[in-house]
Chain A
């Protein structure tokens, strides 16, 4: 029964959601949004599980002095400080248990939570995101090494698209007569992005869509049970 009950629930919910897609009449029309609300409520409770996991893993690392344990101290300290200042003095629009902390705001310029959010968290986030630029460069270098016909094709397309999106690309082909307008680099770049790239992406999306339908059917019919930990 432990295994059958989730399968029955999955089957019923799956069928109801599919049917509700085509029936706008009450109560079917509301089912999708209601289920989304249920999901949000369950996620809210599950956050506690996540936080407990975070604490457990890091406390054990500190307790047994596992390699790199000081990082765990920083993780837990950051977590406790952010939650603590948030509970005590609240955020920009909400007051905390200790009020709005006017004295602290007078010194820091904003509430401690907002101060840390804007001056620490956002900068750390931007730092991680900015790494992407360097990783794109290194990945592009490897991808553009001309070894095979396909990589040559990729290299040429990439150069055309990159040049076509710069003023240099426009300048390089500005001498071309109007009859050869289609060879103008910005036009070529636009063509590559608009047709071959979009066609390829749509092909992947159609395949993925079919894959989702297939997987959903397998799950609804109880053929695929691995997400429950079973065979």
Chain B
């Protein structure tokens, strides 16, 4: 009788264990600090599932609690690469009693390549190769056609106007810090503008709202005056810090626009809600205004309130455009090539999606 009961118990345990699927494996494409836990306990219908991480010395910590009978969880805390980690899945009934449990072990490891980003790598290589090819092509003397950008052609007009009127030029390099590419592009344009200002004996004011931008902008303007051959004309107070606060900065700049009435305003960089407040105040003061940003939600405001607007990529192209250097212009041609590739990929993607083939979308999606 005992033997029969034991056999029955063993048999049922094996059956239950088979019905409970629990696995732990290395989470792919990471630095080896996460484990992917998967379970399927549909057949046992538990009320709650509990995953515990336990050590050989008996210490244990609850890592996940779920009511989902079929799911997965990425554990990213307390996992050390190359060290085995033990996990126990416990299924609980409505009274909190353990109805089944299973233990697994996993070892995480760091990967040397994130396979999720293979499409990004391919696109980056193609684009970089195209840009570098056109840079060298331009360097070898090949003529490249670059369309005129009205906003950048206006710089001479603005400086001329400011000189004639005896008023200053106001330049705002956005409201974000130096880690933003738009700010760097804005500062690149500032260099060219400040040089023209120095050559024309005009005056420039550059209020900034980030301390890092302050020191960089000062260097840029100082170098521009040096290049123009007028280092003595450089006023170190022409570049000054107002505040890091978004609307405090707007209040400060608006005050300058209203009091000083600059002949020309340049808003080139990253802007948020302050864009329209600045541009409308500038419009009311009668200044010639040139704006440029890659913030899609702010562009309509600039288009309405400014005389010239650099839209998205034009802001990044400005420095190369103004330098007229063949190798810089070559990079713009490379960008155009990238656009052509995007157009083709997008068209093919739309077509494939319409006919129900999702390969391209899945390939380009980065998880």
Contacts and interface: CB of A to CB of B under 8 A. Distances in A.
Interface of A: 18, 21-26, 29-30, 36, 39, 42-43, 46-51, 53-54, 56-57, 60, 67-68, 71, 124-125, 128-129, 131-132, 135-136, 138-140, 142-143, 200-201, 204-208, 210-219, 221, 223-224, 226-231
A23 B112 CA distance: 5
Contacts of A227: 184, 187-188, 191, 216, 220
> Residue among B30, B117, B320 with the most chain A CB within 10 A?
B320
B290 interface: no
Contact of A212 (B121, B247, B316, B342): B316
B220 A49 contact: no
Interface of B: 29-32, 81, 110-114, 117, 120-121, 124, 127-128, 131-132, 135, 177, 179, 181, 184-185, 187-188, 191-192, 210-212, 214-216, 219-220, 222-224, 227, 237, 240-245, 247-248, 250-251, 255, 259, 273, 276-277, 279-280, 294, 296-297, 299-301, 303-305, 311-317, 319-320, 323, 325, 327-328, 331-332, 334-335, 338-339, 342
A51 B127 CA distance: 42
Given A24-B110, A142-B304, A43 B315 contact: no
B259 A67 contact: yes
B335 A229 contact: no
A215 B184 contact: yes
A130 to B, nearest CB: 10
A124 B251 contact: yes
Contact of B31 (A29, A143, A230, A231): A29
Contacts of B243: 54
B215 A213 contact: no
Given A26-B110, A53-B214, A67-B259, 16 more contacts: A25-B111, A46-B211, A46-B212, A49-B215, A51-B211, A128-B251, A139-B279, A140-B304, A143-B304, A204-B296, A212-B181, A213-B335, A215-B181, A217-B132, A226-B319, A229-B220
A140 B121 CA distance: 43
Contact of A53 (B192, B240, B319): B240
Contacts of B301: 139
B223 A230 contact: yes
Contacts of A67: 259
B339 A206 contact: yes
Contact of A39 (B30, B179, B332): B179
A125 B247 contact: yes
Given A50-B241, A205-B312, A229-B191, A210 B335 contact: yes
List the 9 shortest-distance A-B pairs measured between CB atoms, nearest first.
Answer: A229-B223, A211-B316, A50-B211, A211-B313, A208-B294, A46-B211, A207-B313, A128-B247, A50-B241
Nearest to A139: B304
> Residue among A47, A48, A207, A229 with the most chain B CB within 10 A?
A229
B216 A214 contact: no
Nearest to A128: B247
Contacts of B294: 204-205, 208, 211-212
A136 B316 contact: no
Contact of A226 (B114, B215, B323, B339): B323
A135 B276 CA distance: 7
A47 B259 CA distance: 27
B121 A22 contact: yes
Contact of A213 (B29, B121, B131, B277): B131
Nearest to A140: B304
Contact of B323 (A53, A136, A231): A231
Given A53-B241, A201-B296, A208-B312, A215 B338 contact: no
A50 B214 contact: yes
5 contacts: A24-B29, A53-B241, A54-B240, A139-B304, A221-B135
A108 B241 CA distance: 32
A217 B131 contact: yes
A125 B248 contact: yes
B320 A224 contact: yes
A29 B242 CA distance: 37
Contact of B312 (A23, A48, A204, A217): A204
A230 to B, nearest CB: 7
